[in-house]
Structures are given as C-alpha cells and as structure tokens.
Structure 1
C-alpha cells in the first residue's frame, strides 16, 4: 500500500483524506517508509520534521471530528533546506550554518501549513543554494532517482529528486537562474517559477540581494502546481518585491476566450541545444497545435543581441559577492566548498560593465514585452541536454564545447526579466532520462501557463512518471 500511496499526487491525497478513504497518518507513514527505503541511495532528504507524525495524528482527529478541512489538509510537503522552517533544521548546505534552527517559518512554508499541509522534511541543495548540482560539505551529494550516476540538478535538486522518487508529493524550491526548472526537467517532474515577487521570499537566504530570486512549487502534476501556487501567492508586508494584489483563481481547466498564440524557439539565443531536446520541444509544439492552439516557430531578436547568461553573470557577481563575504567572514577554508570559494575569488565587475549589463537587461525586458504583444506564450527548452553525469565541467553540444554554466542559457532570461516559467516533462532521451520543456508567459499570466501546461500534460507521450527504485 505504501508504494501506491506515494504515487498519488497532492490533489488526489487531499481528496482521499477528505473522503476518509485514507487517513493523514497512513499518508505520512507511507512517505516516511518510502524515505527510509529510498533516501540512502538518493540522498535527497537531509532532515525530518520531528513532529510530522504527531501533526498527522492531529489532522486525523480533525477529519474524524467532521471539521472544515483546508485544501491540503493532512498532505505532506517538503522544502529546500534554504527555506526557513520553524523548529526544523535549515542549514543552507554549509557547515557554517550547521545546527541552525529558525524560530519562524518562511512565508511560503507558513501559507502551505495554513492550507493544512504538514511539513515532512527538508531537502538537499548546493552550498548556499548556488550551483547546478546539489552537493555540499555538510550533507553530501544528491543522486538522480532515474539514474544514480546522474545529477538531479541544482539548486533545488534535493527537492526534485525527493518528489520524483516518491518521498514527497509536493515541495518548495528556489530559483536564481535555473534552480526550480532545471532540476524538475532533470528528474521528470513539474515546477513553476512565478512572476518575480508573486510569492514572497521572506524567510529565505539571502535577504539581499533578491531581485533575481524566486520561490515556487514543485510536484508531479500541473493541478498540484496550480493549487500550491494559488495558496502561496500575494504580498506579505515584508518582501518589498511582493506587491501585486492580482488574484489567482486556480483555473487550470478554464478555456480562454479565443485561440491562444504560442511561439516556439530553440535556437538562436540560448546557446547550442542537443538534438533530442530540440525534438522534444518540436513535439510539444506540434502537440499544442493539435489541441487548437496557434503555434509558430519564432525568433526573439533581443535574445540574439544580448546573451542573457553573460548579462546575468556581470550583474549578479557584483550583487551577490557581498552576501558571500558576510556569510563566510572569519570562517576556516575547510568550511567552504566549491561555489563559496569560486564566488569569493571572482574579480568585481567594473562599473562600466555593470551599467552596460543593466542596459542589456532592460533591452531583454523590452524584447519580451514586444514579443508578448503578438503571442500569449513561448515554448522553449529547459536546458540544452538531459541530466548529465555528476561533476562534469564542460559539454560538447552540436560540436560546440561549452562550460557547465550554459545549462542555464534557456532559463536565466526569465530571472533577469522576472517572467514566469513552467516546466514539465514531455520526452525521454535515448538512455531513459527525462526531457522537459519550458513554457513562458507575460508577467502575471501564470493562468495562461497552467492552462497550456494542462493541455500538454493531457497529450504527453510520457506515461511512466515514476523511476523504479
């Protein structure tokens, strides 16, 4: 029964609990059992919430008493270990923060709890949430449940691996350049990086700078993403980027008034893309066309003029380095891992280069604004190839050798511009690894993304969504 319970998505679990066909205790115990059986090989879970089972028992008493139940009543969820959780370890993937226990929940965590969800565990990440693989000196390396020799990505790689492996039905990740969408694509799950500021970053390191940082849901299904997003969206009075009061109605199945127009783009603008990834994006475009969506191959000149990855690098080193310097001040060298040492050793961006990059960022925003005058959404790769083996510093893609940062080429434009992006699986590589696609919509248009994603989910050629661990 454990394996069956851990294959349900969060929406189904909530419905089964509401109908008293499953108890919150059964659901929680099934996921704890799955963690015990699976986590030693995957290393996605880094700490358990001590009160998870007690909370499930309390939730069960409410069900039996006939209480009004919140949308996620009794459903477990996990959170990346950079997201503060009251009374539960939040160590940010670094010995510097070993043993750190926050006093308060991050806003995103608090809102899921208010909706009845129960914190189950915290998930692994790279040091300071800052790399495309989830490995650190404190809690070690996370493996991809589809192939333990491959990475589940970063920085929300522990979260993606936990959900893919059935250890959690729903999770929270953060995204600076790729970190929600890339890991989701590498492990075959679904994720949403909302419009910047739609979900507050309160309770997530670093407090500053955060103009490119996002927090968002990760799950198996589009309906879970829509539900979780609807519960977390909106200002909290603390994060000054979170100001929009536009409501979100969780209308995944709501058809638009007229036919939607979607452009699809693989190259140029993102760097080289593997042929299997290109074929998957093309297949998704054809599938959308088959559902009645108007689909056209497009180019976005702004992406070709200013390579977003280069723009991001020039901006973010200048902004992020002080946070690293503050966190590592007075620390021993053996407490620092790959990215802390790398960041601290990087030269400062010159003021001229920084200003040039700011102007390039504005051109990218303008370019997307122009694009969305004509189209409702954009379909792209998530990253240029399926999940890679651990520790590879560079890749050969279509005869071009690129370093590992190029994995962020298709995702980082959305962090610079603040546009929303949704990832879901739509293909499989020749060696059995998931391949995802990315949907992009205009600012605040998450409902468009979720509607299109639900269409693709309904016609997806992928049927086996669970690795056989």
Structure 2
C-alpha cells in the first residue's frame, strides 16, 4: 500500500514498503534516509527517551552497503536499507544489551541473537536499542539506567511497556519498523497506546536462540511493530523460518510468505469479548472497540458475543506465579536485589512464596489452556477484545491506581493480554480511534495457533476500512 508521494513526503514518514519502492527506482538512497532518521533521533529523542543507544557509524556503513546492492540491482529483499530499532532486551552484536538493568550495565555481547541476525541478513539498517523497564516485567517503561520513556502523543504519559521504547521510536518517525518482545502483552498494549500495528506471533513462529535467559518459560516471544500491517507482514516473512535450535519453531515447515498474509475467511467468525467478567475497563475503550466490531462486521465478518472460552482469573493466577519466579531467578543469578528498581522488589519478594508445586500447577494450567483454545479455534477464526483496560498514565508512574473509578491492582490494566501468551496464540494489536484527550485507543485480534498470516490478513481487512497510518502525533508530524 503506497501512502503519499515518495517524491515529496518526508522520508521519516515513509513505510518500509514505500522506502523499498523508492530505493528500487533510484528516487531515494538508504544513505540519505538513514542519515535523515539519525538526525531526527538526535533532535527529538530527548523529548521521549525512546532510543537509549545509537550506533550511527554501524548504521551508516549498513546503509552504504545497501545502497551499493540497489545500484547493482541485487538488494536482499523488501527490507534492504530499511531503518529499524531493536528493544534492549534483545541481543545485537557489538551493542550494549542491558535489559534495562544496572546489573547488566557493561554487557556487550559479540554476536546477534537469531532473529536480529535474520533481520540484518534481510538488509535492514539497525539504528540502535530502545528503552525497556528493568527485565521487561512492567507495563510502563522506566529503569534506573536510562530513566523513563514518554509517549509521542503526549510525552508526559507512558507509551506502556515493556516495549515502550520500541513503539515510541516508530510513532515518532525513528524508523518504520522495530523489534520488541511480548511476555504478557508487551507488543499489543504499547501498540495501542501509540497508534501502531503490533504482532505477538505464535510460540515458535519466530525462532529464538542466542538471547537472554527465558525467565517466563516459553510464553515470551519476539514482537514486531510498524505503522501498517504490510510492514509488519514483511518483517515477519523475513525472520520466521524455523531453526532446529528452537524446537518450538519446528512446528512450522517454512517462513511465512506475503501471499499467505492476504488470505482469511470471507465470513470470518469472530467472538467479541468487550469485558472480562467484572474486571474494570474504561468505558471509552469499550466504546472504541464496539466501533471496531461494527467496522469488521461491515467488512463481511460474522461478529458474535458470548461467554469467555477460558477462565481469566485462572490465567491471571498462573501469570502471577510464573512472573515473580522468573524475575527472582534472573536477579539472583546476576547478583541479588540490592541494585534493582525499587518497584520490582515486591514482585521479587513474592517469589519466596512460590513453591515448586505452585510453579508446576501453573505450567499444568498452561497446557490445559492450550488444549482448550485449540478446541475453540476449530470453530472460530478470531477473538476481538480491547488491548488494554486503561488509557496511558503518567510516564513515571508504575501503573494506574484506578480504572473507571475503581481501585486497580498492578496488572489490572493488562487483563486482556497475558492469557494469550500462556495459550501460545498469535495476537495482533491495531489502532481503533482517538480518545477525548487525543490519545490512541487500541484493540487486539487473537487467532488460532499458527494462524499468524490469517490474522494479518484480517488486520488488512480492518485497516482498509479504517486507515490510520497517516495520523501522526502532534509535535512529531
């Protein structure tokens, strides 16, 4: 999908798709585009603190190599020369990899982890690393090393977490695509807060190897961000080949193809769940998601409401067991809790009450949930829900203390997303609307295991009816 005139549109506004067209025609060079975006980061990043490490020299070298490939008529593919940022919980060879922690302040691994290597092999220009909450266990983005990250739509508010730096970067025009991660909603919620498309793939759909320890068993996956479904689909196709070093990936025979991301059932059957039992949600979010349901229905989907096909409180309890245990494991391994973010100490202390039996029960619940959802998706194509229960709050505050006037626990804002990780399912976050304060409101579509491409096709159907990509945050447009 071409948006705007590539001859007049500022290069930082261009999608990866449009950049590739412009490079291929000779109208633009990866060198010019990379230099422009690096200059933009220097100018605007101080307002946001989205990017915490910039590799300008490495980026320019990669851009020059990409430009030579285009001149010679042999680019690596549609991501060749496209600027990208990488979340600082992922490993990029030669760049700091701090996971947002003082305990890893000097960590600089020599080699890329597998998905990063594949993105580099696709020709993408890696600009640098984006900010995270320490050990990526919180729903805002702040740490003692780099401070807090703001939302381009209002820099005083959070972009969410834990991929807050990643979404803030893309929303501000610091490259059209970004890598994040998702262990409990960390692509879909931040995408919703910043007006982006965010994909949490099925477990194994993007093979992992060579990164940080898996502190959440297998429920955290690499996440993808862009301003359009097309750009996210291009990125997924580039990095989704199976690899024997990640046994989960062997469920798939090959990488996703772009053709697959254009096909979904004409009369897709979608279960709409606007509320999760009595858990609070801001009415404006439900109203925006109601409008999404109507758009999808007008596009030919069969939208139905009905009972939840799983117990959300059981899912929340399993996450509440696994997350503290994983945090405690990595903190103890790296030297203890004395230097971690104070807001993490209650979660760290919670791990002391988690027994081996408790943890095994959580794993057993996860297995049951996956079987249960396999049965559900034999009859349904997708689930539609809000992406979040609360709109963005102050960037230095850990979580919103009230939702719809009711007291809220630390994970109440994230009630819609974590169960998807336990179930291992793909989830696609998309922008729905702007709220009364001019902030984006997001929703998510959840598909059956391995149906990532179908989910992207469904996202395309919505995007065609409700285009968003030309909306930019005031002050960054």
1:372 aligns with 2:377: yes
| Cα deviation digits, residues 144-187 of structure 1 (max 9, x gap) | 11001100111110000000000121100011112111111111
Question: Residue 324 of structure 1 contacts residue 340 of structure 1 at CA under 8 Å; is this kept in 2?
Answer: no
Q: Secondary structure at the match of 1:360?
A: helix
The more displaced of 267-276 and 140-149 is 267-276
Q: Secondary structure at the match of 1:217?
A: strand
| Partner residue in 1 for 2:348 | 344
Separation of aligned partners in 2, 1:205 and 1:340: 19
Q: Secondary structure at the match of 2:311?
A: helix
Structure 1: which 5+ runs fail to align?
A: none
1:434 aligns with 2:437: no
| Partner residue in 1 for 2:3 | none
Q: Tell me how far 1:229 sits from its aligned partner.
A: 0.6
| Partner residue in 1 for 2:466 | 460
1:180 aligns with 2:187: yes
Separation of aligned partners in 1, 2:470 and 2:76: 32
Structure 2: which 5+ runs fail to align?
A: 1-6
1:20 aligns with 2:26: yes
Separation of aligned partners in 1, 2:97 and 2:469: 35
Q: Tell me how far 1:352 sits from its aligned partner.
A: 4.5
Separation of aligned partners in 2, 1:445 and 1:26: 38
Q: Tell me how far 1:302 sits from its aligned partner.
A: 1.9
| Cα deviation digits, residues 39-91 of structure 1 (max 9, x gap) | 01000011112311122122212222333442211111110011111112222
Match of 1:451 among 446, 457, 461: 457
Q: Structure 1 pair 404/278, CA: closer, same or farther in 2 (3 Å)?
A: same
| Partner residue in 1 for 2:285 | 277
Q: Secondary structure at the match of 2:460?
A: helix
1:302 aligns with 2:302: no
Count of aligned pairs between the two proteins: 465
Separation of aligned partners in 1, 2:204 and 2:35: 35
Separation of aligned partners in 2, 1:257 and 1:130: 36
Separation of aligned partners in 2, 1:360 and 1:240: 21
Separation of aligned partners in 2, 1:314 and 1:253: 36
Q: Structure 1 pair 51/263, CA: closer, same or farther in 2 (3 Å)?
A: same
Q: Structure 1 pair 79/253, CA: closer, same or farther in 2 (3 Å)?
A: closer
Separation of aligned partners in 2, 1:72 and 1:138: 32
Q: Structure 2 matches for 1:127-142, cutoff 5 A?
A: 127-142=134-149
Match of 1:113 among 112, 117, 120: 120
Question: Residue 6 of structure 1 contacts residue 31 of structure 1 at CA under 8 Å; is this kept in 2?
Answer: yes
Match of 2:219 among 201, 209, 212: 212
- Normalised to the residue count of structure 1, the TM-score between the two structures is 0.93
Question: Residue 194 of structure 1 contacts residue 214 of structure 1 at CA under 8 Å; is this kept in 2?
Answer: yes
Match of 1:76 among 60, 74, 83: 83
Q: Structure 1 pair 57/173, CA: closer, same or farther in 2 (3 Å)?
A: same
Q: Structure 1 pair 242/28, CA: closer, same or farther in 2 (3 Å)?
A: same
Q: Tell me how far 1:298 sits from its aligned partner.
A: 2.4
Q: Structure 1 pair 429/313, CA: closer, same or farther in 2 (3 Å)?
A: same
Q: Structure 2 matches for 1:407-426, cutoff 5 A?
A: 407-426=413-432
Question: How well do the aligned residues superpose, as a CA RMSD in angstroms?
Answer: 2.1
Q: Tell me how far 1:343 sits from its aligned partner.
A: 3.5
1:384 aligns with 2:389: yes
Question: Residue 390 of structure 2 contacts residue 400 of structure 2 at CA under 8 Å; is this kept in 1?
Answer: no
Q: Secondary structure at the match of 2:442?
A: strand
Q: Tell me how far 1:399 sits from its aligned partner.
A: 4.0
| Partner residue in 1 for 2:36 | 30
